[in-house]
Amino acid sequence: MGKEIITTISPITGQPLLIREGVSPEDFLSIVEKSSHAFSTFRHTHPLKRRQEVVKKALEILSRKSDLLAQELTEQMGRPIAYTGSEISTARMRAEYLLKVSDEVLRDSPGEEQEGFRRFIRKEPLGVILVIFAWNYPYLILINSLVPAILAGNTLLLKPSPQTPTVAEHIVSIFTEAGLPENVLQTVHCGAPKTLESFVSHPDIRSIAFTGSVSGGVAVQKAAASRVVPVGLELGGKDPAYVRPDVNLTWAAENIVDGAIFNSGQSCCSIERVYVHESVYDDFLKAAVKVLEGYKLGDPRDKNTQIGPVVSARSAKTISEHIKDAEARGAVNLTPKSVFAEGVRLGETFVRPELLAGCDHSMRIMTEETFGPTVPVMKVSNDEEAVKLMNDSRFGLTASIWTKDAEIGERLVERVEAGTVFVNRCDYPSPDLAWTGWKDSGRGVTLSKFGFEAFVKLKSFHLKSCPELDK
């Protein structure tokens, strides 16, 4: 059997952009062996302080390469060039927080004092970790696992999305330049699900960190099920927002529309459904239309473009199907179409933002992950109904409530079933807070002080002094 050929299709032109050769199961055996050997020395030759120095230097190099990396992101996944540079700076910010807390998080935890005894718990690295990460925010997603795993003393195999293959290659190069020993980081290109499943099931892979679709995460989980190995899953979302009647509607509409359509809605924590109190429903819709009129859909290489293409023709088809289903079931399309007419002519992946009124939970656009620039809105009569509908989902990644009364907002989000809840904010994983999904949105934690736990195992030391015996 020949090597797998992986082709990256440009979301801008629809033409082949990059070609990579996939790793075969036989090649993977050698890669894992090299990683295992690197682990046996790295954890001893590079104590935490030295690992911290390497990460700091790597972040400096990452920042110096920001313009190049941003340009490649725009070419490969289609986000406008006006915004891709901020992903690199945000990735560095996240990493710097993880660096800052690493001494505290990775130090030994003492047991209770007792004369003649010394007891403590140590956090030990796991070994070879397989990181499978998505294309939509590839540097941010990778940093979440990469930095705590390296600081803890592990070695990593980085499996990028075929859509953004150069991300892993750049990171390996950057960390090597920063002084990381050979084979502590390696890139593994793979586009075939069955081949990837064989990677996951390799007995020397000590942990898997997966970011992607629910179906992809379930497949990884099944592939790992024959042995006892931790699997971290960051999966999909159908994140709700609720607009209370006391909020400034212009301000709320600006933020909610941005939270729904930024990056063409291709974020696991994009707002994907909006509930608005009936007393301000019509006014909110008017405000949202006005906000949409200020956006430009166009070529992402143009610095004036705010919305670029979605990642693929298949993605565009899914978005279209959700919109048609909603309209067939009674939703009213309020999208100011003339604003985006020029942009949609650029190609089938140039999907205009869509504002849909009169939505309900009989529609796919309110229950399935759309992953596109849509703003479906449903009228509700009170807070109780809003919270009930927010929780009526198989997903639970983030949720937001928009209100002038922060105290009421906090009481309401306490009842919302999601890993991160916001009042008057959305679509922002803060590095000092745990990033975690409830329900089908995932399992495990990245970011915060808890984000290290997936990459260590605990070892208890119970040491007793030898008594002085009478001669």
| Catalytic residue ranges | 234
| Cβ count within 10 A of residue 5 | 10
Backbone angles phi, psi at 434, to 5 degrees: -70, 130
Backbone angles phi, psi at 230, to 5 degrees: -70, 140
Q: Are strands 442-443 and 231-234 parallel, antiparallel or unpaired?
A: antiparallel
The Cα 436–Cα 451 span in angstroms is 9
Closest alpha carbon to 455 in 187, 94, 152: 152
For residue 227, CA distances in Å to 25, 28, 167, 188, 235 come to: 19, 19, 30, 22, 22
Cβ atoms 173, 114 nearer than 8 A: no
The Cα 376–Cα 285 span in angstroms is 10
Cβ atoms 319, 336 nearer than 8 A: no
Q: 381-413: string of b/e by CB count within 10 Å (b at 16+)?
A: eebebbbebbeebebbbbbbbbbeeeeebeebb
Closest alpha carbon to 73 in 170, 206, 153, 7: 170
Cβ atoms 455, 152 nearer than 8 A: yes
For residue 311, CA distances in Å to 58, 82, 341, 376 come to: 29, 17, 19, 21
Helix (H, G, I), strand (E, B) or coil at 298: coil
Per-residue three-class SS string for 109-146: EECCCECCEEEEEEEEECCEEEEECCCCCHHHHHHHHH
| Cβ count within 10 A of residue 274 | 30
Structure tokens at 289: 């239309």
Residue 120 forms beta bridges with which residues?
110, 461
Helices (H), 180-298: 193-200, 214-223, 249-261, 281-292
The Cα 447–Cα 140 span in angstroms is 11
The Cα 28–Cα 108 span in angstroms is 35
Helix (H, G, I), strand (E, B) or coil at 38: helix
